[in-house]
A and B are shown apart, each in its own frame.
Chain A
């Protein structure tokens, strides 16, 4: 609970949190009042009418991808792994490469066929209940786990910021209610607009943290590296080969896996135009350098500021550095409080996107598809919202009372999501890809990745379980489809493989 242990927290922290919460609620109220339609139909509620402009789309991509965890969790990682953690910058950049595998065509198809959820593409392409249900299950499972992780992180950040003056559970419950309220009022548009505020807060916060940490070590890069060479040479030496393999595997896993997150895919659908989407992504490409890169530097400086921390203690690194930075002078003190408010805001902005995506899949792909096919769109939206609320409170109970040995199951996210890659990438361009092999490939890949993760074999010679599963998945998809006789009545238009030029 006392993860950050900030002596400067307390009342100023509470004021900052209340201010952030008020701005978020204000945005939700403003969107709900000005665009009452945003709550009634599916496309307006879940995709902001498919009309997000460049700036808002950019910030919602940014705030969704970078959570408060990127700051609080990645700096300790750099502290422990040393320079090899520079991989975090490359893997965040690689996500844009992951998007480029399928986003250009998916954008066109989504506009043409009015897709709302990622599952719409799966159904459109494979026309198979089994494939659609399995994909839906993997997406909901990963989203729920992702949401759970954000809720736990939110609790730690709030208790750290307020110096435990606000009990962990109450802090999280209040922010969850704020998040639910603005999402309820304004849907995706409110989520995206709050992302602008949340993204700016995070960005400014990490930059000030770096400036402060740099000031603390005396401002000289040369001195810091000399210290590392003398005292922690392994932090700055070429890592062993297996670590290099793991570095590459991580770039593949994150680059493809994060691009497959349902809320990431729905941001492709939400773009106003191809130009808007491209321009937003062009800015996103550079964000790893000034977010993950800055956090990496903070972690490396931490080696000099707080040498010899145990693994558990290192988890509190950002709080310790922020404490030290906050005591430099009043400007840094205020900036550090704003940083921690920004961390909470960034966690909320990631959680709200995951929740909205979760609700959309439940309302469209489960409720409207299998339970009440004739339900009006307004009712579908309402069911999605209510199920979302029930899910959040269920996850909150889990976050507060982790179910012992079961807790490992909840770590599975990217390992499962990356198994959707053949459905989106291969399915979009290879007409022969058949539903049967896709189903068995996805099931086998997810099963193998899950088994490797749960048995503690996180990697095989440095290759992550998710990638090992993906290789098996791809092999089954390709070999199976080559064996299965292609259906003669499957025009290119319907498979989605609509060539603009001959393939």
Chain B
């Protein structure tokens, strides 16, 4: 966490320097794998599907959201310099 606040101060950040990001990612992935449940378990069924499958799907969706958040908030090395240097913002290839 100290590295986190340090980098916020300088305006630069990259995910690898923040161990908590990787611990969080590992936790989300591990929750999605049913290693902690008895093999062969199907019940309980919720809305037609075994509960454990919701956990696996939920973990995948959570991982997508988590990575999006990391990409948005915790990766900024040269973006500010590049964008201020660029006189024509936006992407000519049709991208925004």
Q: A-side interface residues toward B, CB under 8 Å?
A: 52-58, 83, 86-87, 89-90, 93-94, 96-97, 100-102, 104-105, 107-108, 111, 221-222, 225-226, 229, 233-234, 236-241, 244-245, 247-248, 251, 272-276, 278-282, 285-286, 288-289, 293, 425, 429, 500-503
Contacts of A83 in B (CB 8 A): 50, 53, 56
Are A278 and B79 in contact, with the CB atoms below 8 A?
A: yes
Summed over the interface, the residue pairs from A and B with CB atoms below 8 Å come to a total of 165
Query: B16, B17, B68: which contacts A285 (Cβ < 8 A)?
Result: B68
CB-based nearest B residue for A83: B53
Query: A86, A244, A293, A500: which contacts B77 (Cβ < 8 A)?
Result: A500
Give complex CA distance A251, B32 in Å.
11
Are A100 and B75 in contact, with the CB atoms below 8 A?
A: yes
CB-based nearest B residue for A247: B33
Are B12 and A501 in contact, with the CB atoms below 8 A?
A: yes
Give complex CA distance A279, B64 in Å.
14
Interchain Cβ contacts under 8 Å between A and B, 11 examples: A55-B93, A86-B57, A105-B14, A221-B48, A229-B42, A237-B41, A238-B34, A289-B61, A500-B12, A500-B14, A501-B10
Are B33 and A244 in contact, with the CB atoms below 8 A?
A: yes
Query: B16, B40, B77: which contacts A238 (Cβ < 8 A)?
Result: B40
Are A101 and B16 in contact, with the CB atoms below 8 A?
A: yes
Known A100-B67, A237-B40; further 11 A-B contacts with Cβ < 8 A = A57-B95, A86-B57, A222-B47, A236-B50, A238-B52, A239-B39, A240-B39, A245-B35, A501-B6, A501-B10, A501-B17
Are A273 and B48 in contact, with the CB atoms below 8 A?
A: no
Give complex CA distance A105, B82 in Å.
14
With A55-B94, A275-B82: A233-B42 Cβ-Cβ less than 8 Å: yes
Contacts of B41 in A (CB 8 A): 237-238
Q: Is B86 an interface residue (CB 8 A)?
A: yes
Are B68 and A56 in contact, with the CB atoms below 8 A?
A: no
For residue B7, give the distance in angstroms from its CB to the closest CB of chain A: 5
Query: Which among A237, A240, A247, A248 has the greatest number of chain B C-beta atoms within 10 A?
Result: A237
Query: Which of chain B's residues 9-39 have a Cβ closer than 8 Å to chain A?
Result: 10, 12, 14-17, 25, 29-30, 32-35, 37-39
Are B77 and A104 in contact, with the CB atoms below 8 A?
A: yes
Give complex CA distance A273, B77 in Å.
11
Give complex CA distance A251, B82 in Å.
34
Are A244 and B6 in contact, with the CB atoms below 8 A?
A: no
With A244-B34, A285-B68: A58-B95 Cβ-Cβ less than 8 Å: yes
For residue B13, give the distance in angstroms from its CB to the closest CB of chain A: 8
Query: A233, A241, A273, A425: which contacts B35 (Cβ < 8 A)?
Result: A241
Give complex CA distance A96, B15 in Å.
12
Contacts of A233 in B (CB 8 A): 42
Query: B35, B56, B83: which contacts A275 (Cβ < 8 A)?
Result: B83
Query: A55, A107, A111, A236: which contacts B91 (Cβ < 8 A)?
Result: A55
**Which 10 pairs between the two chains have the least Cβ-Cβ distance?**
A54-B95, A53-B93, A53-B91, A222-B48, A55-B95, A244-B35, A53-B95, A500-B12, A238-B41, A104-B14
Are A502 and B29 in contact, with the CB atoms below 8 A?
A: no
CB-based nearest A residue for B47: A222
Give complex CA distance A288, B32 in Å.
15
Give complex CA distance A100, B82 in Å.
20
CB-based nearest A residue for B29: A251
Give complex CA distance A281, B70 in Å.
11
CB-based nearest A residue for B39: A240
Are B6 and A502 in contact, with the CB atoms below 8 A?
A: yes
For residue B88, give the distance in angstroms from its CB to the closest CB of chain A: 11
For residue A259, give the distance in angstroms from its CB to the closest CB of chain B: 13
Contacts of B70 in A (CB 8 A): 100
Contacts of A234 in B (CB 8 A): 40
For residue A145, give the distance in angstroms from its CB to the closest CB of chain B: 28
Q: Is B1 an interface residue (CB 8 A)?
A: no
Are B32 and A275 in contact, with the CB atoms below 8 A?
A: no
Query: A94, A225, A244: which contacts B49 (Cβ < 8 A)?
Result: A225
For residue A428, give the distance in angstroms from its CB to the closest CB of chain B: 8
